[in-house]
A and B are shown apart, each in its own frame.
Chain A
Amino acid sequence: MTEEERKHAEEKQLSRRQFLRDASAMVAGTALGAGLTVPREVAEAATPKVELKYTCPLDGRNFQAFEDLKAHFVHAHPQAAAPALTKLKVNGKDYDLQIEPQWTLQSALQFKLGLTGAKTMCDRGECGSCTVIVDGKAVLSCTTLAVECEGKSIETIEGIAANPKWNPLIQAYMKHDTMQCGYCTPGFVVTAKALLDKNTNPTEDEIRQVLSGNICRCSTYPRHPKAILEAAQVLRGGK
């Protein structure tokens, strides 16, 4: 991208305050913001620029280059299997990451990419807060090994939020106060998006069934079907 193109792209983005103002106006009105431009920080959050470092899992030493880590293994841990890089495609961008075999996808997203929308609540596949979409399916990233996801397409809440198509879903959540403390909310939104990918016109009961694996301790449950039904209508082109 040339400097001019970059500037043009930036100008097309909105400031945070302008976005919030527009979002408020949209929420206040009947339309749920289909086509609203995504603010820059939301767009950029989907594919973070990360400064990768490489850590020896055996002694914690850090290296700036992966080759240096491999060399360290030859000298310091000659008996151990040398680490390998894993290719993860997250929100459309490819990353080569040093991931330990036992790492969950949630850990890899958080500690390697700084993507923290997939949250740890139970760490046992019991609560849905860490939900991401892998090759079109909603999965629990706390019970999915990161190395299993090599070559697969991983979509997180950050990626969903960065896609203007899903503005109506985000805004419906805002409109109905479909969050309290908010810790579990991204997991619900990702689960809802996975449902709407497959079923553009779900019933309330279908929504409840799909969300039955998501725990909201603040108990916002009655609001999710409302928000999702309303978003689904907008996404189908209704009002």
Chain B
Amino acid sequence: MPEQPDRQDFKVVGRRDVPGSLSNAIATGRAKYPRDLVFPDMLHAKVLRSPYARARIKSLDTSKAEALPGVKAVIKWDDPELKAMPLNYIGSKTPVLNDQADREGDEFGVVVAAETEEIAEQALDLIKVEWEVQPFVLDSKDALKPGAPVLHPTARPDNVEAVDNWEDGNVEEGFKKSANVIEFDYFGPRSGVYNSQPITVVSRWEPDPHGIEGPVLYTTPMYRDKGLPAAREAFKLAWDKVRPITQFVGSGLCDGDPRRASRLVPLLAKRTGRPVRLAYTRREAFDTSGAQVYTHVKVGFNNDGVIVAAHGKTITSCGVESDWERNGSDITCFRMTKAANVKNETTYTYTNTSRGAFLRAGAFPTASDTLAIAIYRIADQLKMDPADVLMKNVSTPEPSVKLCMEKGKAAINYQWHPTGAKKLANGKMHGVGFRLRDSHSWGSNTAIGVSLKSDGKIYLPFGSAYFGVFGQDAIALVVAEELGAKAEDVVVQLDPFSKLSFIIGGSDISSTAYAGKMAALDLKAKILEAGAGALKVKPADVDTKDSTVYLKADPTKKVPFGALVSDEVGALGSLSGFWQGATPTNYDWSTRTYGPVNMFFAEVEVDTETGQFEVTKMVGAYDGGKVLRPSSFEGQVEGGMIWSISKAKTEEYIFDKATGVLLNGSALEYKPGTILDTTPIQAITLETRTGGGVYGSSGVGENTWEQGSISCAIFNAIGKWIDWPITPDKVLKALGKI
């Protein structure tokens, strides 16, 4: 059950002046990411990658590579130990190293380790491969056509990874009752994470530091730490025998897959008895992308703009395979409306393209592009303000939607005009758009333990890979708040061996912080008891403040936290609080339940002569329920807006249709946004205390970008729907100028 908003007075939560626990290490360059790790006698690995979109190895001659001086290991796909490993990772249909490649750049066939990276590359060049080049399919729709090449014939003979069909009410009846029916197509291109650190795996085996039988594998985690269980499963190791070398992983942005390297590198290290490093090139790191999405939407609505029925048919691609069973947006977002009749039919397909990843939850079913577009189309047809149409339709406008709408409109200076009706003095067309999305908290099974030590500090062991959401720092504020401790007295204790205090993603912080609160309350009860004992009163007579236990009747009588425990032999060495359980969430689409929302607004100017457009302002009005750490919270909202601008303008994986080769696998060609692409943006944080997390908070980070607001603004400006990325040629083509 969602926690009821409880605490009203906050002394620590919400402060902006407590820097991140890792910020100094990061800013001074001392933070070690997997790619930074250098060990004495470290070998360098390279893995064969397919130059073809789909191919099988007919024969493989590695003799020259094996004979090359400096080469220390050559492991082929048919190696018995490799073949005995379970399938590559969650969602995978292929072995760790296969003789079959299913996308250009796929790692397969053989992996080598050598004294230098150059020698490893030379070794790969010396491998003689006889290829069986096979037909391939790139497009999700094409994957379903009869006769299409089948990627995983044993597992999925029809290229269908999954289907998700459901119906609320009866859409056919709903359409009959509707005064108006419109249909439109929505398209989402494949775009990538562009992880800041190209994937790098470093592994080494060492004797157990305590002399216990069996070596310990030290290796690098991935975002969400999935690199570790991938290795543990492969080598059938006890849980404590696989340990992360570092907790820094670079940007995760929801791309959490372990790669094949998570098992190949430990294997090479095992065979050679030396540390091994495998570092992807930037080109190789273009190996995952968000889903390609085609949705055909049919919407029935009345003349007042109220939606009666919606039906969506979606075909979306997981790429070559996906770690998520559901990896595409659809029309689930219509469950945020009052429409009783909603039908969804989604088919997830396999294609010979980059592996499906989750990308800041942009493709999560709650993504609401299709709803945003429907609202604007309905408004255009009825000559109504789309803001009014949305408010008529959204099922629970109070307080969150109404507040986001009100604050967002004010910040963007929203003055509605009909489609294509506002030409600016500079000759450009003006448009404004918005989209609505829920601010969900995942909720998860988690555990948190906190301990008061004799130095007066409260230690919060934190075991997650650090991917940049300041989650551990937000939880530390909650712990300090509940304990009555000074903020600086709660120490985030980076403990890679601990899986206490684990965070999956940005939307998980508020619910994990709930666990932090409960653990702190458990500890506080013990502190009060110990403090009361020290003051020779009853626990009910004391309370905590500024890391002391004080007598309520006479606050001058107090004892510091640190005095309650002692390092003396026989003394109480620490006081600990603990909580474990399912943390709350705030959404359940099957029952049309959702918590606080966020609304993004975009204002654009479109040059109809050149086809170029600029986002002149963007506003993210985000109801976080209760904001735990405002600066990093706003950073997530800002990040989502900047992603939206970058992806609206440039980002798309472009595959050569003839060969299936990715054509734009570099920063220059893929064009992730820079500071100059960042137009004025404004993050507005709102607090309705209606979220499922601690204090009624909700998630942020994973639901902060999508296509809706900018697409709708472009439509408002020129009356045309243009698929992302919205490039000048597409604009001019839509306007009939080319």
Contact = CB atoms under 8 A, between A and B. Distances in A.
- Give the most central of B27, B36, B252: most A CB within 10 Å: B27
Given A24-B18, A181-B252, A45 B28 contact: yes
A89 interface: no
Contact of B29 (A120, A156, A213): A156
Contacts of A216: 196, 675
A180 B469 contact: yes
Q: At the interface, is chain B mostly helix, strand, loop or mixed?
A: loop
Given A126-B667, A185-B27, A221 B678 contact: yes
B666 A20 contact: no
Interface string A15-47: 000011101110110000000000001100100
Given A117-B30, A214-B674, A222-B681, A124 B36 contact: no
Interface in B319-370: none
Interface string A84-114: 0000000000000000101000000011001
A182 B29 CA distance: 9
Interface stretch (A2-10, A133-141, A144-152, A171-179): A171-179
Interface in A68-86: none
Contacts of A27: 17, 19
A116 interface: yes
Q: At the interface, is chain A mostly helix, strand, loop or mixed?
A: loop
B425 interface: no
B56 interface: no
B642 to A, nearest CB: 4
Contact of A182 (B26, B40, B667): B26
A154 interface: no
B462 to A, nearest CB: 15
A208 B675 contact: yes
Contacts of A124: 282, 666-668
Given A24-B19, A24-B488, A177-B23, A117 B675 contact: no
Contact of B32 (A19, A116, A176, A214): A116
Given A58-B69, A60-B119, A124-B667, A161 B27 contact: yes
B410 interface: no
B401 to A, nearest CB: 26
B635 A170 contact: no
A210 to B, nearest CB: 9
Contact of A184 (B196, B279, B666): B196
A235 interface: no
A124 B22 CA distance: 28
B471 to A, nearest CB: 11
A129 B194 CA distance: 14
A189 interface: yes
A24 to B, nearest CB: 5
A212 interface: yes
Interface string A170-214: 100111111111111110010000000000000000001101111
B196 A183 contact: yes
Contacts of B631: 176-177
A23 B18 CA distance: 10
B197 A157 contact: no
B373 to A, nearest CB: 24
Given A129-B196, A179-B23, A215 B672 contact: yes
Contacts of A19: 24
Given A120-B35, A219-B643, A212 B29 contact: no
Contacts of A42: 28, 30
Contacts of B30: 41-42, 45, 117, 158, 161
A114 B26 CA distance: 16
B250 A181 contact: yes
A169 B248 CA distance: 23
A214 B196 CA distance: 11
Nearest to A53: B40
B195 interface: yes
A106 B678 CA distance: 28
A180 to B, nearest CB: 3
B158 to A, nearest CB: 36
Interface string A211-233: 11111111111111000000000
Given A111-B38, A129-B196, A57 B253 contact: no
B253 A120 contact: no
Contacts of B646: 219
B198 interface: yes
B249 A179 contact: no
Interface stretch (B110-118, B124-132, B234-242, B375-383): B110-118
B638 interface: yes
Given A123-B282, A179-B26, A182-B26, A221 B115 contact: no
21 contacts: A20-B21, A24-B19, A60-B115, A117-B28, A127-B667, A174-B24, A177-B23, A179-B27, A181-B248, A182-B22, A182-B248, A183-B196, A183-B197, A208-B675, A209-B676, A212-B676, A217-B672, A218-B253, A220-B639, A221-B638, A222-B681
Given A57-B118, A181-B251, A183-B248, 14 more contacts: A42-B28, A55-B116, A60-B114, A120-B279, A126-B667, A161-B27, A170-B24, A179-B26, A183-B250, A185-B27, A214-B675, A216-B196, A219-B673, A222-B678
The 8 A-B residue pairs with the shortest CB-CB distance, nearest first, are A117-B29, A60-B115, A60-B70, A180-B468, A182-B26, A59-B69, A116-B36, A181-B468
Interface of B: 17-24, 26-33, 35-36, 38, 40-41, 69-70, 114-116, 118-119, 193-198, 248-253, 279, 281-282, 466-470, 488, 631-632, 635, 638-643, 646, 666-668, 672-676, 678, 681
